[in-house]
Amino acid sequence: NFYRSLKNTNAKRFRFMVNIAFTVLVVLYTATMASGYGTFGDVCEGNILLNYHPNDILSTLGRLATGFSILFGFPLVACGARESIIGVASSLGNNALGSEKNHSLLVAGILAFVTVISCTVQDVSLVVGLTGAALGSFIVYICPPLIFAKAVTLVKGPGSPESKRAQLNLVLIPFGLLIALLGCISVLK
């Protein structure tokens, strides 16, 4: 969606825009983290705004700005989540999830899931930690062997020697699950 929405779309221009966006984000996040840690040290809360007094006008404005950021950024995140869910479902053989008749149901399901989490979790660092532990392990240890094995099987055929060798990479999946589990346990302690 974002690639197609660029004017004069091409891979080089898209890569340039992505690099600029990530560079700006890295600088902003690093400055925010350094400021928070520099101000509060080891007693810094998961949500930096919780460290400030509730009557502090600047922290109140920060909370308001955070609320607006979440409110107006949510459609972008939800769109990406919806597209990813549809992509995963279709790659697993469920093309019906991406149909127009299921659009509202899928969006309502995503919204309900996010709302339940946001209403029940008090500490944002818990969500960030669990997400980082689980998704980090998935991205590093679980997803690559799955993609590689599937790609080799599609190109070389299911019974080929290359496909059988590629299947050996799937041994990383239990390791990735173990790392994710240990990361989640570490966050919960």
Position 6 scores a pLDDT of: 74
pLDDT digits (tens, 9 = 90+) for 36-46: 888 888 887 77
Q: Record the tokens describing residue 78, joined without a space.
A: 């939800």
Q: Say if residues 188 and 131 touch (Cβ distance below 8 Å).
A: no
Whole-number Å distance between alpha carbons of 60 and 75:
24
Other C-beta atoms lying within 10 Å of the C-beta of residue 121: 12
Q: Say if residues 36 and 44 touch (Cβ distance below 8 Å).
A: yes
Position 108 scores a pLDDT of: 92
**Average pLDDT by consecutive 10-residue portion of the chain (189 residues)?**
74 86 94 86 80 90 90 87 88 84 90 88 82 92 92 91 92 94 92
Position 89 scores a pLDDT of: 87
Other C-beta atoms lying within 10 Å of the C-beta of residue 48: 19
Going 24 to 22 to 2 to 93, the CA torsion angle's sign is: negative
Q: Say if residues 180 and 134 touch (Cβ distance below 8 Å).
A: yes
Whole-number Å distance between alpha carbons of 92 and 86:
10
